[in-house]
Structure 1
Amino acid sequence: MGKAIYLWFERESEHLWSLWLYNAQKLSGYYLKNENYAAAVKIQERIQSIFPSNKDSYFFLMKLYDLLDYKVAVEDQYRLLKKIFLEKMTMELSDEIERWYQNWKKRSGISKRGEDGYY
C-alpha cells in the first residue's frame, strides 16, 4: 500500500508541475501581449530556475531580450541553451532556434565572436 501511495503522489506531483508550467507560460504570454516585458521576463526566469532543461524558456527569453534590445542577454540565453543541449541532452538545437538566432545576429549587427562570446 505504501508503494501505491508513493506512485500516486509522484504522478500527482508531476501533474501539478505540468499545470504550473502551463499556467506560467500562459501568464508570460499574456504579459508579452500586453507589453509588460519585465513581468514576462520574471516568469520565464522562474520557469528556467525550476525546469532548467525546458528549452522554451530560453527561446522565449531570447525573444524578450531582443524586444528589450538586451543583446548580451540574448547571446547569454543562446549559449546557455546550446550548452544544455550539447552537454545534458547530447543533441543539437532545433533548426527554428538556430535560424532565429542567425537572423537576429544579422538584424542586430552582431559581428562574429569567439566561442567564449567575446570579440
Structure 2
Amino acid sequence: MTETNASLFSLALGPEMTIAQAADVHGLLLETVGRLDGGLSLDLSAVSDFDSTGIQLLLAAHKTLQERGAVLRLHEPSQVVLAALRCYGLAADLQPQGRAAASEG
C-alpha cells in the first residue's frame, strides 16, 4: 500500500481478479479499507483477467468507502477492466481514470 496524499491511498491489484482469486483479493481489500482514514486509489493497470467477481469486489469497496464519506478511484484500469465496466454499465458510477479511460470516453 502506498500513500498518495493525506487522504488517498494507492493499492495495485492484478494480474487476475476472477473467481479463482476472489478470497485473496477480498481479504486484501477488507484489510486495506479497514485501516484507511480516507479514500483508496486502485491501480488496475496490470489486470489481465477480470470477471464478474472483480466487478463485485470493486462495487463492495466502492459502497464501503462511500458509506464512510470516502472515495474509490480506479487508476489506469486495463482494457479488460474497462470493457467489463462498460458491459455492466458501471463506467459512470465507478469513474475509471487514466489514459485508457480518457481515450474511451
TM-score range, shorter chain: 0.3 to 0.5
Higher normalized helix content (fraction of residues): 1
Higher relative CO (Cα under 8 Å, sequence separation at least 6) belongs to 2
What TM-score does the superposition give when structure 2 sets the normalisation length? 0.37
What TM-score does the superposition give when structure 1 sets the normalisation length? 0.34
Higher normalized strand content (fraction of residues): 2
Structure ID, larger Rg: 1
